[in-house]
Structure 1
Protein backbone atom coordinates (compact mmCIF):
# COMPACT_ATOMS: atom_id res chain seq x y z
CA UNK A 1 0.00 0.00 0.00
CA UNK A 2 1.57 3.33 -1.00
CA UNK A 3 2.31 5.78 1.78
CA UNK A 4 3.02 8.75 -0.46
CA UNK A 5 -0.19 10.66 -1.19
CA UNK A 6 -1.61 10.61 -4.69
CA UNK A 7 -2.79 14.20 -5.02
CA UNK A 8 -5.34 15.68 -7.36
CA UNK A 9 -4.24 19.31 -7.12
CA UNK A 10 -1.79 21.47 -9.02
CA UNK A 11 0.83 21.50 -6.29
CA UNK A 12 2.31 17.97 -6.09
CA UNK A 13 3.96 18.67 -2.74
CA UNK A 14 0.88 19.96 -0.93
CA UNK A 15 -0.70 17.88 1.82
CA UNK A 16 -4.15 18.43 3.33
CA UNK A 17 -4.30 19.76 6.84
CA UNK A 18 -7.27 20.09 9.15
CA UNK A 19 -6.25 22.12 12.15
CA UNK A 20 -3.27 20.26 13.57
CA UNK A 21 -4.34 16.94 12.03
CA UNK A 22 -2.65 15.66 8.89
CA UNK A 23 -4.34 12.74 7.15
CA UNK A 24 -2.87 10.54 4.45
CA UNK A 25 -4.24 8.30 1.76
CA UNK A 26 -3.33 5.33 3.94
CA UNK A 27 -5.40 6.81 6.79
CA UNK A 28 -8.48 6.99 4.60
CA UNK A 29 -7.93 3.45 3.32
CA UNK A 30 -7.33 2.00 6.78
CA UNK A 31 -10.41 3.58 8.29
CA UNK A 32 -12.51 2.60 5.28
CA UNK A 33 -11.26 -0.97 5.61
CA UNK A 34 -12.17 -1.05 9.31
CA UNK A 35 -15.69 0.12 8.50
CA UNK A 36 -16.01 -2.35 5.60
CA UNK A 37 -15.09 -5.20 7.93
CA UNK A 38 -17.22 -4.12 10.89
CA UNK A 39 -20.27 -2.60 9.22
CA UNK A 40 -20.33 -3.53 5.53
CA UNK A 41 -19.75 -1.61 2.32
CA UNK A 42 -22.95 0.43 2.66
CA UNK A 43 -21.45 2.24 5.65
CA UNK A 44 -18.26 3.18 3.83
CA UNK A 45 -19.22 6.80 3.19
CA UNK A 46 -16.98 9.82 2.90
CA UNK A 47 -18.69 11.98 5.52
CA UNK A 48 -18.86 9.15 8.07
CA UNK A 49 -15.18 8.34 7.57
CA UNK A 50 -14.23 12.01 7.93
CA UNK A 51 -16.20 12.27 11.18
CA UNK A 52 -14.53 9.15 12.50
CA UNK A 53 -11.09 10.67 11.87
CA UNK A 54 -12.13 14.13 13.03
CA UNK A 55 -11.22 15.83 9.76
CA UNK A 56 -12.97 17.70 6.99
CA UNK A 57 -14.22 15.50 4.17
CA UNK A 58 -12.61 17.91 1.71
CA UNK A 59 -9.26 16.28 2.45
CA UNK A 60 -10.66 13.04 0.98
CA UNK A 61 -10.54 14.57 -2.50
CA UNK A 62 -6.80 15.10 -2.31
CA UNK A 63 -6.42 11.35 -2.62
CA UNK A 64 -9.58 9.99 -4.25
CA UNK A 65 -11.74 11.22 -7.09
CA UNK A 66 -14.91 9.74 -5.60
CA UNK A 67 -16.31 7.19 -3.18
CA UNK A 68 -16.13 4.64 -5.98
CA UNK A 69 -12.45 5.40 -6.37
CA UNK A 70 -12.02 4.57 -2.67
CA UNK A 71 -13.99 1.34 -3.01
CA UNK A 72 -11.85 0.32 -5.98
CA UNK A 73 -8.74 1.02 -3.90
CA UNK A 74 -10.07 -1.22 -1.13
CA UNK A 75 -10.54 -4.07 -3.60
CA UNK A 76 -7.08 -3.52 -5.02
CA UNK A 77 -5.61 -3.64 -1.52
CA UNK A 78 -7.50 -6.86 -0.80
CA UNK A 79 -6.16 -8.50 -3.96
CA UNK A 80 -2.63 -7.29 -3.34
CA UNK A 81 -2.64 -8.72 0.17
CA UNK A 82 -4.89 -11.76 0.56
CA UNK A 83 -4.82 -13.21 -2.93
CA UNK A 84 -1.20 -12.35 -3.60
CA UNK A 85 -0.14 -13.76 -0.23
CA UNK A 86 -1.87 -17.10 -0.73
CA UNK A 87 -0.45 -17.47 -4.23
CA UNK A 88 3.04 -16.58 -2.97
CA UNK A 89 2.80 -19.09 -0.13
CA UNK A 90 1.61 -21.82 -2.49
CA UNK A 91 4.59 -21.08 -4.72
CA UNK A 92 7.13 -20.95 -1.86
CA UNK A 93 9.90 -23.55 -1.98
CA UNK A 94 9.30 -26.74 0.00
CA UNK A 95 10.93 -30.19 0.11
CA UNK A 96 7.65 -32.06 0.54
CA UNK A 97 3.97 -31.50 -0.15
CA UNK A 98 3.27 -31.40 3.59
CA UNK A 99 5.86 -28.66 3.92
CA UNK A 100 4.22 -26.81 1.03
CA UNK A 101 0.81 -26.99 2.71
CA UNK A 102 2.35 -25.71 5.93
CA UNK A 103 3.66 -22.73 3.95
CA UNK A 104 0.05 -22.02 2.97
CA UNK A 105 -0.97 -22.41 6.61
CA UNK A 106 1.18 -19.35 7.33
CA UNK A 107 -1.76 -17.39 5.91
CA UNK A 108 -3.90 -18.75 8.73
CA UNK A 109 -1.41 -17.88 11.44
CA UNK A 110 -0.29 -14.41 10.35
CA UNK A 111 -3.12 -11.82 10.16
CA UNK A 112 -0.84 -9.38 8.34
CA UNK A 113 -0.21 -11.97 5.64
CA UNK A 114 -3.87 -12.83 5.15
CA UNK A 115 -6.73 -10.77 6.60
CA UNK A 116 -9.54 -13.27 7.11
CA UNK A 117 -12.04 -10.65 8.28
CA UNK A 118 -11.41 -8.60 5.15
CA UNK A 119 -11.91 -11.67 2.98
CA UNK A 120 -15.31 -12.29 4.55
CA UNK A 121 -16.24 -8.62 4.15
CA UNK A 122 -15.47 -8.75 0.43
CA UNK A 123 -17.49 -11.96 0.11
CA UNK A 124 -20.44 -10.26 1.77
CA UNK A 125 -19.97 -7.27 -0.54
CA UNK A 126 -20.01 -9.62 -3.54
CA UNK A 127 -23.57 -10.66 -2.68
CA UNK A 128 -24.64 -7.09 -3.48
CA UNK A 129 -22.41 -6.30 -6.45
CA UNK A 130 -22.00 -8.18 -9.71
CA UNK A 131 -18.68 -6.43 -10.31
CA UNK A 132 -17.29 -7.54 -6.96
CA UNK A 133 -18.70 -11.04 -7.49
CA UNK A 134 -16.77 -11.31 -10.76
CA UNK A 135 -13.62 -10.07 -9.07
CA UNK A 136 -14.07 -12.54 -6.22
CA UNK A 137 -14.62 -15.41 -8.64
CA UNK A 138 -11.39 -14.55 -10.45
CA UNK A 139 -9.56 -14.31 -7.15
CA UNK A 140 -10.87 -17.67 -5.94
CA UNK A 141 -9.89 -19.25 -9.26
CA UNK A 142 -6.40 -17.78 -9.01
CA UNK A 143 -5.95 -19.11 -5.48
CA UNK A 144 -7.22 -22.59 -6.34
CA UNK A 145 -5.01 -22.67 -9.45
CA UNK A 146 -1.96 -21.83 -7.36
CA UNK A 147 -2.82 -24.59 -4.89
CA UNK A 148 -3.43 -27.05 -7.73
CA UNK A 149 -0.04 -26.23 -9.22
CA UNK A 150 1.47 -26.74 -5.77
CA UNK A 151 0.16 -30.30 -5.63
CA UNK A 152 1.21 -30.97 -9.22
CA UNK A 153 4.79 -29.97 -8.35
CA UNK A 154 4.84 -33.00 -6.06
CA UNK A 155 3.66 -35.37 -8.79
CA UNK A 156 -0.04 -35.55 -8.05
CA UNK A 157 -2.06 -36.22 -11.22
CA UNK A 158 -3.79 -33.11 -12.55
CA UNK A 159 -7.35 -34.04 -11.53
CA UNK A 160 -6.26 -35.21 -8.08
CA UNK A 161 -4.22 -32.03 -7.63
CA UNK A 162 -7.25 -29.88 -8.47
CA UNK A 163 -9.47 -31.89 -6.13
CA UNK A 164 -7.05 -31.70 -3.21
CA UNK A 165 -6.56 -27.99 -3.84
CA UNK A 166 -10.30 -27.35 -3.67
CA UNK A 167 -10.71 -29.48 -0.55
CA UNK A 168 -7.90 -27.57 1.13
CA UNK A 169 -9.12 -24.13 0.06
CA UNK A 170 -12.85 -24.46 0.61
CA UNK A 171 -12.44 -26.41 3.85
CA UNK A 172 -10.34 -23.57 5.22
CA UNK A 173 -12.91 -20.98 4.17
CA UNK A 174 -15.68 -22.92 5.87
CA UNK A 175 -13.55 -23.52 8.95
CA UNK A 176 -12.85 -19.82 9.37
CA UNK A 177 -16.48 -18.90 8.76
CA UNK A 178 -17.67 -21.40 11.39
CA UNK A 179 -15.29 -19.87 13.96
CA UNK A 180 -15.02 -23.04 16.06
CA UNK A 181 -14.35 -22.48 19.74
CA UNK A 182 -10.93 -24.12 19.75
CA UNK A 183 -7.68 -23.20 21.40
CA UNK A 184 -4.64 -22.65 19.23
CA UNK A 185 -3.01 -25.47 21.13
CA UNK A 186 -5.75 -27.79 19.89
CA UNK A 187 -5.37 -26.50 16.33
CA UNK A 188 -1.65 -27.24 16.43
CA UNK A 189 -2.36 -30.71 17.81
CA UNK A 190 -4.69 -31.34 14.86
CA UNK A 191 -2.28 -29.99 12.23
CA UNK A 192 -0.57 -33.35 11.49
CA UNK A 193 -3.99 -34.95 11.04
CA UNK A 194 -5.11 -32.22 8.64
CA UNK A 195 -1.91 -32.65 6.64
CA UNK A 196 -2.55 -36.38 6.29
CA UNK A 197 -6.10 -35.69 5.09
CA UNK A 198 -5.10 -32.94 2.65
CA UNK A 199 -2.06 -34.69 1.18
CA UNK A 200 -2.39 -38.41 1.90
CA UNK A 201 1.20 -38.30 3.15
CA UNK A 202 2.98 -38.29 6.47
CA UNK A 203 4.33 -34.91 7.66
CA UNK A 204 7.93 -34.64 8.81
CA UNK A 205 8.70 -33.78 12.41
CA UNK A 206 11.10 -30.99 11.46
CA UNK A 207 8.40 -29.35 9.32
CA UNK A 208 5.90 -29.49 12.16
CA UNK A 209 8.41 -28.08 14.64
CA UNK A 210 9.23 -25.22 12.29
CA UNK A 211 5.51 -24.44 11.89
CA UNK A 212 4.97 -24.44 15.67
CA UNK A 213 7.89 -22.05 16.02
CA UNK A 214 6.38 -19.80 13.33
CA UNK A 215 2.93 -19.69 14.93
CA UNK A 216 4.31 -18.70 18.33
CA UNK A 217 4.84 -15.21 16.91
CA UNK A 218 1.09 -14.88 16.43
CA UNK A 219 -0.67 -17.47 18.58
CA UNK A 220 -0.65 -17.66 22.38
CA UNK A 221 0.41 -21.28 22.79
Structure 2
Protein backbone atom coordinates (compact mmCIF):
# COMPACT_ATOMS: atom_id res chain seq x y z
CA UNK A 1 0.00 0.00 0.00
CA UNK A 2 1.36 3.40 -0.97
CA UNK A 3 2.06 5.88 1.79
CA UNK A 4 -0.71 8.44 2.14
CA UNK A 5 0.11 12.11 1.77
CA UNK A 6 -1.42 15.13 3.46
CA UNK A 7 -3.09 15.85 0.11
CA UNK A 8 -4.70 12.37 0.15
CA UNK A 9 -6.23 13.14 3.53
CA UNK A 10 -7.47 16.55 2.39
CA UNK A 11 -8.99 15.04 -0.75
CA UNK A 12 -10.76 12.33 1.28
CA UNK A 13 -11.92 14.92 3.81
CA UNK A 14 -13.25 17.07 0.99
CA UNK A 15 -15.12 14.08 -0.44
CA UNK A 16 -16.70 13.49 2.98
CA UNK A 17 -17.60 17.19 3.21
CA UNK A 18 -19.06 17.18 -0.31
CA UNK A 19 -21.20 14.14 0.42
CA UNK A 20 -22.43 14.88 3.93
CA UNK A 21 -21.31 18.31 5.16
CA UNK A 22 -18.58 19.59 7.44
CA UNK A 23 -19.63 17.41 10.37
CA UNK A 24 -18.67 14.36 8.26
CA UNK A 25 -15.04 15.52 8.24
CA UNK A 26 -13.91 13.38 11.17
CA UNK A 27 -10.71 11.41 11.64
CA UNK A 28 -12.07 7.86 11.95
CA UNK A 29 -14.55 7.91 9.03
CA UNK A 30 -12.04 9.59 6.73
CA UNK A 31 -9.38 7.06 7.78
CA UNK A 32 -11.81 4.21 7.01
CA UNK A 33 -12.54 5.70 3.59
CA UNK A 34 -8.81 5.76 2.88
CA UNK A 35 -8.19 2.33 4.38
CA UNK A 36 -5.76 3.98 6.78
CA UNK A 37 -5.16 4.24 10.50
CA UNK A 38 -5.60 7.20 12.78
CA UNK A 39 -1.83 7.10 13.23
CA UNK A 40 -1.41 7.98 9.57
CA UNK A 41 -3.73 10.94 10.09
CA UNK A 42 -1.69 12.24 13.02
CA UNK A 43 1.47 12.00 10.94
CA UNK A 44 0.04 14.75 8.71
CA UNK A 45 -2.25 16.73 11.02
CA UNK A 46 -2.13 17.85 14.63
CA UNK A 47 -5.88 17.39 15.06
CA UNK A 48 -9.28 17.34 13.35
CA UNK A 49 -9.40 21.14 13.36
CA UNK A 50 -6.38 21.25 11.06
CA UNK A 51 -8.05 18.86 8.60
CA UNK A 52 -11.30 20.85 8.73
CA UNK A 53 -9.34 24.05 8.03
CA UNK A 54 -7.67 22.40 5.03
CA UNK A 55 -11.02 21.13 3.72
CA UNK A 56 -12.55 24.58 4.11
CA UNK A 57 -9.56 26.07 2.29
CA UNK A 58 -10.18 23.70 -0.59
CA UNK A 59 -13.90 24.59 -0.55
CA UNK A 60 -13.03 28.30 -0.71
CA UNK A 61 -10.65 27.72 -3.62
CA UNK A 62 -12.91 25.42 -5.65
CA UNK A 63 -16.29 26.99 -4.98
CA UNK A 64 -15.34 30.66 -4.85
CA UNK A 65 -11.89 31.60 -6.12
CA UNK A 66 -11.89 29.24 -9.14
CA UNK A 67 -15.36 30.44 -10.14
CA UNK A 68 -14.30 34.06 -9.85
CA UNK A 69 -11.18 33.34 -11.91
CA UNK A 70 -13.31 31.64 -14.55
CA UNK A 71 -15.77 34.53 -14.68
CA UNK A 72 -12.96 37.10 -14.87
CA UNK A 73 -11.80 35.47 -18.14
CA UNK A 74 -15.22 36.08 -19.74
CA UNK A 75 -15.18 38.79 -22.40
CA UNK A 76 -16.65 41.29 -22.76
CA UNK A 77 -16.80 42.33 -19.12
CA UNK A 78 -20.53 43.01 -19.47
CA UNK A 79 -21.06 39.25 -19.95
CA UNK A 80 -19.53 38.38 -16.57
CA UNK A 81 -22.65 38.80 -14.44
CA UNK A 82 -24.79 36.47 -16.59
CA UNK A 83 -21.85 34.02 -16.79
CA UNK A 84 -21.51 33.93 -13.00
CA UNK A 85 -25.24 33.38 -12.51
CA UNK A 86 -25.19 30.58 -15.08
CA UNK A 87 -22.26 28.89 -13.29
CA UNK A 88 -24.01 29.19 -9.94
CA UNK A 89 -27.23 27.68 -11.25
CA UNK A 90 -25.48 24.76 -12.96
CA UNK A 91 -23.46 23.91 -9.84
CA UNK A 92 -26.18 24.33 -7.20
CA UNK A 93 -27.47 20.75 -7.26
CA UNK A 94 -23.94 19.32 -7.02
CA UNK A 95 -22.78 21.20 -3.93
CA UNK A 96 -23.99 18.88 -1.19
CA UNK A 97 -21.49 19.86 1.49
CA UNK A 98 -22.26 23.52 1.18
CA UNK A 99 -25.99 22.95 1.55
CA UNK A 100 -25.51 22.24 5.26
CA UNK A 101 -22.43 24.35 5.86
CA UNK A 102 -24.25 27.54 6.76
CA UNK A 103 -26.40 25.74 9.31
CA UNK A 104 -23.44 23.81 10.74
CA UNK A 105 -21.06 26.78 10.89
CA UNK A 106 -20.00 27.28 14.49
CA UNK A 107 -16.76 28.38 16.11
CA UNK A 108 -13.82 28.70 13.72
CA UNK A 109 -15.90 27.30 10.83
CA UNK A 110 -18.23 30.28 11.13
CA UNK A 111 -15.34 32.71 10.57
CA UNK A 112 -14.32 30.92 7.36
CA UNK A 113 -17.90 30.74 6.10
CA UNK A 114 -18.38 34.44 6.87
CA UNK A 115 -15.19 35.39 5.02
CA UNK A 116 -16.15 33.32 1.97
CA UNK A 117 -19.65 34.76 1.99
CA UNK A 118 -18.26 38.29 2.16
CA UNK A 119 -15.93 37.52 -0.77
CA UNK A 120 -18.87 36.23 -2.80
CA UNK A 121 -21.10 39.18 -1.94
CA UNK A 122 -18.35 41.71 -2.69
CA UNK A 123 -17.51 40.12 -6.03
CA UNK A 124 -21.14 39.83 -7.07
CA UNK A 125 -21.76 43.43 -5.97
CA UNK A 126 -18.86 44.57 -8.16
CA UNK A 127 -20.46 42.87 -11.18
CA UNK A 128 -23.87 44.34 -10.40
CA UNK A 129 -22.32 47.77 -9.95
CA UNK A 130 -20.50 47.41 -13.29
CA UNK A 131 -23.90 46.94 -14.91
CA UNK A 132 -24.87 50.46 -13.84
CA UNK A 133 -26.39 49.97 -10.37
CA UNK A 134 -25.32 52.34 -7.57
CA UNK A 135 -22.83 50.79 -5.09
CA UNK A 136 -25.18 50.61 -2.08
CA UNK A 137 -27.98 49.12 -4.15
CA UNK A 138 -25.55 46.73 -5.88
CA UNK A 139 -24.45 45.41 -2.48
CA UNK A 140 -28.06 44.96 -1.32
CA UNK A 141 -28.88 43.04 -4.48
CA UNK A 142 -25.75 40.90 -4.11
CA UNK A 143 -26.74 39.98 -0.54
CA UNK A 144 -30.23 39.04 -1.71
CA UNK A 145 -28.87 36.94 -4.58
CA UNK A 146 -26.37 35.07 -2.38
CA UNK A 147 -29.14 34.47 0.15
CA UNK A 148 -31.46 33.23 -2.60
CA UNK A 149 -28.82 30.79 -3.86
CA UNK A 150 -28.27 29.42 -0.34
CA UNK A 151 -32.03 29.04 0.10
CA UNK A 152 -32.33 27.42 -3.31
CA UNK A 153 -29.67 24.88 -2.28
CA UNK A 154 -31.75 24.09 0.80
CA UNK A 155 -34.88 23.56 -1.30
CA UNK A 156 -33.03 21.26 -3.69
CA UNK A 157 -31.51 19.29 -0.79
CA UNK A 158 -35.01 18.85 0.61
CA UNK A 159 -36.04 17.06 -2.57
CA UNK A 160 -37.67 19.92 -4.44
CA UNK A 161 -37.12 19.35 -8.15
CA UNK A 162 -36.39 22.95 -9.10
CA UNK A 163 -32.90 21.89 -10.19
CA UNK A 164 -34.47 20.38 -13.30
CA UNK A 165 -34.92 23.94 -14.61
CA UNK A 166 -31.83 25.97 -13.69
CA UNK A 167 -32.68 28.41 -16.49
CA UNK A 168 -35.51 29.91 -14.43
CA UNK A 169 -33.10 30.51 -11.54
CA UNK A 170 -30.58 32.21 -13.83
CA UNK A 171 -33.22 34.40 -15.45
CA UNK A 172 -34.70 35.43 -12.10
CA UNK A 173 -31.33 36.19 -10.54
CA UNK A 174 -30.24 38.18 -13.57
CA UNK A 175 -33.43 40.25 -13.47
CA UNK A 176 -32.88 40.89 -9.78
CA UNK A 177 -29.23 41.85 -10.29
CA UNK A 178 -29.83 44.13 -13.26
CA UNK A 179 -33.13 45.63 -12.17
CA UNK A 180 -34.91 44.26 -15.25
CA UNK A 181 -38.43 42.96 -14.90
The reply to whether TM is greater than 0.5 is yes
Query: Would you say 1:102 and 2:82 are equivalent positions?
Result: yes
Report the CA distance between 1:119 and its aligned residue: 1.9
Size of the aligned set, in residue pairs, is 177
Query: Would you say 1:80 and 2:57 are equivalent positions?
Result: no
Report the CA distance between 1:96 and its aligned residue: 6.5
- Structure 2 residues not aligned, in runs of 5+: none
- CA 1:115–1:84: 2 relative to 1, 3 Å: farther
- CA 1:176–1:120: 2 relative to 1, 3 Å: closer
TM norm structure 1: 0.66
User: Which structure shows the higher helix fraction?
Assistant: 2
Query: Would you say 1:174 and 2:151 are equivalent positions?
Result: yes
Given that residues 20 and 96 in structure 2 are in contact (C-alpha distance below 8 angstroms), is that contact kept between their aligned partners in structure 1?
no
Query: Would you say 1:195 and 2:174 are equivalent positions?
Result: yes
Highest RCO, 1 vs 2 (Cα 8 Å, sep ≥ 6): 2
- CA 1:65–1:110: 2 relative to 1, 3 Å: same
Query: Would you say 1:50 and 2:27 are equivalent positions?
Result: no
* Counterpart Cα distance in 2 of 1:183 and 1:136: 24
Structure 1 or 2, whichever has the larger Rg, is 1
The 5-angstrom pairing of residues 73-152 of structure 1 reads: 73-88=54-69, 91-95=72-76, 97=78, 99-104=79-84, 105-110=86-91, 116-126=95-105, 129-152=106-129
RMSD: 2.9
